[in-house]
Structure 1
Amino acid sequence: MSLSQSLLLQAPISATPCIPILPEGELHKLNHGLALGRVHQACGSARHRLALWLAAQTTGPVFWIAPKWNTEQLNPCGMMSFINPGRLILVQPKSAKDILWSMEEILRSGASPLAIADIPESPALTPVRRLHLAAEKGGKTGNSAPIGLLLTPGTEGAQGVETRWHLAPDHNGSTGTWRLHRLRARMAPEQGWYVKQEKSKKLPRVSGIIKDNNNLKA
């Protein structure tokens, strides 16, 4: 059999299941969400908001891992417009090394569709690889493969993550507007979008594409 014949007989490659970043994002070419069974990164001053947007599009418990010494704590009243605070299971490790260890164990168990780790700095490549393997295994033990989301304060990229996103308020826009940027993705280019919250909607909507990609993190 020739190579061309064998390629024709191969089954089509199915798209990787994803959680969309925001509803109706495909209308503005934001059709590349967060792949299940993988680890992703979010940075920027509004990264915690992005994590809540993702959590709102899942069902079941969501694990939120943050160091015990972190002075910034989640406010249940502030998240009620997105999700029921009772869905969040807070984990507060006493040491930095236990943050990623906790995330690895949660992903491996498959007990939650989303595990979020608020970490003080970007991890090395080896821990990220371990998280990927744990998420893949969690997909075999749970109902579906879980997602790991790393929240980092700076814009430094974590090696090995599937995608990297940046969210910050749009200071040139009206109240309730943000600038969302995809800084890295294996199957999509860098791109930025304007995001706006509508009073009648639970989650914000993508309102347009940022055409100037030379200043993605502005």
Structure 2
Amino acid sequence: MHSAAALLSRRPLRPAPLITLGDPEIALRLGRVHELCGQARHTLAFAIAAQTGGPVVWIAQNSTSEIICADTIAEQINPGHILFVAPEKRDMLLWAMEETLRDGHAPVVIADLTSPPAMVPIRRLHLAAEAGCGVGICRPLALLLTPGQGGAPGIETRWSLEPAHHTGRGHWALSRLRARMAPPRDWLMTRTYSGLVPSTP
């Protein structure tokens, strides 16, 4: 009679579904919470969202001064595929993100924050994203946009995107600042017809 451990060892390994940007090392696991920071974090968010085709739920406080230009993002994703949500208070923002993830009908849910949230709200977001994988039509990806170098605790990965136009027009410096299973790493990115991808030497 086979032991339970032996039987488990014979199951095929199924890699977790990912979104990547032209390099298997630039990978964001679906059903988890990731943090995007840096000056060009919005550009990175749209590049990631474009990989799914939408719909995308973008949540930002009603008082934010930044306005997203539809003509600019149309180069990456159809603005009609984005639902903008503008709660009055920050706690409502995280609640809206949690409920959207739990519903499991939006492939990408983005929260544009003025500062990183604490551990408990992020844990709740992870649980909501995991729940959404089982009840909805997709495996939702949660993206937290934070200023500076970020710093949210408990996230799956942290990425920073900064302009690098001194190396050529339309270039950005992408950094993987934190990941559970990978070390920090940097890439020079450029925009092509297929989206934001690593530049060729």
TM-score bracket relative to the smaller structure = over 0.9
User: Match of 1:96?
Assistant: 90
User: Match of 1:38?
Assistant: 32
Q: 1: distance between equivalents of 2:90 and 2:120?
A: 16
Contact 1:122 1:156 in 2 (8 A): yes
Contact 2:54 2:82 in 1 (8 A): no
Q: Does 1:66 align with 2:60?
A: yes
* Alpha-carbon distance change, 8 to 153 in structure 1, aligned in 2, over 3 angstroms: closer
- Residue range with higher mean Cα deviation, 97-106 or 58-67: 58-67
Percent identical among aligned pairs is: 46
Letter in 1 for 2:144: L
TM-score (ref. length: structure 1) = 0.86
Q: Which residue of the other structure, out of 159, 165, 184, is the alignment partner of 1:165?
A: 159
Q: 2: distance between equivalents of 1:39 and 1:112?
A: 14
User: Match of 2:77?
Assistant: 83
Report the Cα offset of residue 142 of structure 1: 1.3
* Alpha-carbon distance change, 8 to 122 in structure 1, aligned in 2, over 3 angstroms: closer
Letter in 1 for 2:197: R
User: Match of 1:205?
Assistant: 197
User: Match of 2:18?
Assistant: 18
Letter in 1 for 2:82: L
* Alpha-carbon distance change, 11 to 173 in structure 1, aligned in 2, over 3 angstroms: same
User: Match of 2:101?
Assistant: 107
Q: 1: distance between equivalents of 2:186 and 2:178?
A: 11
Q: Does 1:137 align with 2:140?
A: no
Report the Cα offset of residue 12 of structure 1: 3.5
* Alpha-carbon distance change, 172 to 60 in structure 1, aligned in 2, over 3 angstroms: closer
The gaps in structure 2 that reach 5 residues or longer are none
Q: 1: distance between equivalents of 2:90 and 2:47?
A: 26
Contact 1:81 1:202 in 2 (8 A): no
Q: Does 1:128 align with 2:149?
A: no
- Residue range with higher mean Cα deviation, 166-175 or 131-140: 166-175
Contact 1:19 1:33 in 2 (8 A): yes
Q: Does 1:183 align with 2:147?
A: no
Q: 1: distance between equivalents of 2:91 and 2:125?
A: 13
TM-score (ref. length: structure 2) = 0.93
Letter in 2 for 1:205: V
**Superposition CA RMSD, Å:** 1.9
The runs of at least 4 consecutive aligned structure 1 residues that moved more than 6 Å come to none
Q: 2: distance between equivalents of 1:8 and 1:128?
A: 31
Contact 2:28 2:34 in 1 (8 A): yes
Q: Give 3-state SS (helix, strand or coil) of 1:104's partner.
A: helix
